Amino acid sequence: MGKYRVLRTARKLRSHRKDQKWPHLGTAPKANPFGGASPAKGMLLEKVGVEAKQPNSATRKCVRVQCIKNGKKIRAFVPNDGEENDEALVAGFGQKSHAVGDIPGVCFKVVKVLTGVVEAKFLVM
């Protein structure tokens, strides 16, 4: 990809340089809990309630997930709810695995529960 040569591209040039400054070192897959993969399989360890940011006052349902691939523990948002000791497929939540919306510090979401149905587990709580 060539350089941006249009007027008013300083922000794009700066952000692109920040992203591409050290790509040869291979630090991005090491920093990513998934090890460079887009989804990852993991064990649901426990339910966690995360308080929403202001001005909302809800408690969002999240779970602690231990990745099977490398053993790293992450916090993932569950669309309905999750139960302990189930396997789940976890994917990124937003752009470049940043937190989305009013859920602080949660960068991943449960895409699919491999043992059971997510809606059925919602009724347990």
Task: List, for residues 14-68, the tens digit of each pLDDT value.
Answer: 888 888 887 788 777 778 888 888 899 999 888 889 999 999 999 999 999 999 9
Tens-digit pLDDT profile for residues 78-90: 887 656 557 889 9
Angstrom distance (rounded) from CA 79 to CA 87:
16
Angstrom distance (rounded) from CA 85 to CA 64:
10
Beta bridge partners of 39: 91
- Flag whether the pTM goes above 0.75: no
**Beta strands, E only, 1-125:** 39-51, 59-67, 73-77, 87-92, 108-113
Amino acid, res. 22:
W
Angstrom distance (rounded) from CA 20 to CA 75:
28
Residue 119 vs residue 73, higher pLDDT = 73
Distance of CA 63 to the CA centre of its chain: 12
Domain segments of the chain as ranges: 38-122
> Torsions phi, psi of 35, nearest 5?
70, 30
pLDDT at 93 over 60: yes
pLDDT score of 22? 79
pLDDT score of 117? 53
> What kind of fold does domain 38-122 have according to CATH?
OB fold (Dihydrolipoamide Acetyltransferase, E2P) (2.40.50)
